[in-house]
Structures are given as C-alpha cells and as structure tokens.
Chain A
C-alpha cells in the first residue's frame, strides 16, 4: 500500500532551526509537496521537489532523496508565526496526491 510517515508533533525554540522529516512508499513518484496549515485555516503551498537535492526559499528549505524515499523541510530562524502543522504529500504514478497526517510544530519563546 501507499504510506507517508512524518512525526506527529515537534517542539522548537524561537530563533532556532528545526527539521521535519517525511518518508514515503508510493506506487510511482511524480514529486513531493510540503504545505503549511495554521489551526483553523487552509493549507498553503510551501515547496515542491521532483529532483534530488535541496531547494531553498528564504527561511524554508526542502530536501529530497528519491532513492531513500525521504524528504525533509528545514525551517531556520524560527518565528512564533511558524507554529502550524506541516503536511507532506507525494504525487503518485496517477498524479494523485498521497498525504501524510501532518507534523504539528510548536514554537516556544
């Protein structure tokens, strides 16, 4: 079956760096997405990786290793507003998104 695994919850300190991991097993691979979802709000797009390596976008970076079925989202210089759930999703062979359950990130002062 298809499966996306990510930690349920993580805690980090304001100003620090945090890495949220995602491992996947899917039927085919057409890219991996990261979305951010604040409580009570819609998920919003953060990044898309289809080739191996690191994609940097401001304070956020996303890494992909297709051979390992692994990705991470790296958040630097954490701010209180980064407290949210982070969703990992993989596009399978039919271009259908398979979603992880999300990682709730708690930022402490």
Chain B
C-alpha cells in the first residue's frame, strides 16, 4: 500500500450503532488529521495528532472519539450518531518540522458515512 488508505470506503449505520473508521499512512509522516466534508461546505478540521499527541479538537461532539495508537494509524470511533453527521470523512497526514510547519497534507480517499 502507498500513500494514505482509509477503510471502509462506505458505511451505513443506525443511530444506535457503534463503528470505527480506520486510517493508515505509509509516508513516514508525523502528523495526522480527521476532516469532515459535507456537500458544498468547506472542509471541517475535526482532530489533529502531532507525534501521536492530540493537539486540536475543534469543538467536535463527544460522539466522535479519535484514537492514534502510533504515528501511522488513526481511528475515529463513532457512537450514537445523528443523521446530520452523514458526510465524507477524510484522513490526511503531513510531515511537520519546526522549520517548515506548512508542508502539504496528503489525503486518503475518505469514508462515505450515511447515518439512518
């Protein structure tokens, strides 16, 4: 595998279900991100992990719970979601260094989530 991979690609779940999204990056990067992409809306940054430490949590509801066991893997645990949470969830990674914090982000293909 190369780049950033995400599984599953599509997920349909009921509001009472518990599921997890998985992201894996094969680029040796030290930062990983979860974004939410809704139709005709800007990408919304949800969580950021630098060196496995969570550095950003942009007022995301507690029904979304991230986990970063190592610098290559990132999970998003979902429980008791609402229909308005239906969206494309994108994972990204980048290499953050003190001299160049603005390196480009590499995105995975996303998980299309539908909450019934």
User: Do B4 and A42 touch across chains, with their CB atoms under 8 A apart?
Assistant: yes
Chain A interface residue number, banded:
20 to 34
User: Do B45 and A96 touch across chains, with their CB atoms under 8 A apart?
Assistant: yes
Question: Taking A48-B104, A97-B105 as contacts, is the C-beta distance between A42 and B110 under 8 angstroms?
Answer: yes
User: Do B108 and A42 touch across chains, with their CB atoms under 8 A apart?
Assistant: yes
Q: Is B43 on the interface with A (CB-CB < 8 A)? A: yes
Give Cα distance in the complex from A43 to B33, angstroms.
13
Complex interface: chain A residues within 8 A of B108 (CB): 42
User: How many inter-chain contacts with C-beta < 8 Å in the A-B complex?
Assistant: 45
Contact of A99 among B4, B40, B43, B104 (CB under 8 A): B43
Give Cα distance in the complex from A30 to B4, angstroms.
25
B43 CB, min distance to chain A CBs, angstroms:
4
Question: Taking A42-B109, A44-B107 as contacts, is the C-beta distance between A50 and B102 under 8 angstroms?
Answer: yes
B72 CB, min distance to chain A CBs, angstroms:
17
Contact of B42 among A30, A33, A101 (CB under 8 A): A101
User: In chain B, residues 37-91, which have Cβ atoms closer than 8 Å to a Cβ of chain A?
Assistant: 40-45, 48, 56, 90
B74 CB, min distance to chain A CBs, angstroms:
15
A100 CB, min distance to chain B CBs, angstroms:
6
Complex interface: chain A residues within 8 A of B107 (CB): 42-44
Type the 1/0 row for A29-55, where 1 means its CB is closer than 8 Å to any CB of B.
011010000001111110010100000
User: Do B104 and A45 touch across chains, with their CB atoms under 8 A apart?
Assistant: yes
**In the complex, residue of chain B having the shortest beta-carbon distance to the beta carbon of A95:** B101
Give Cα distance in the complex from A4 to B45, angstroms.
15
List B residues at the A interface (Cβ < 8 Å): 4, 40-45, 48, 56, 90, 101-102, 104-110
Q: Which 3 A-B pairs have the closest CB atoms?
A: A42-B107, A99-B43, A45-B104
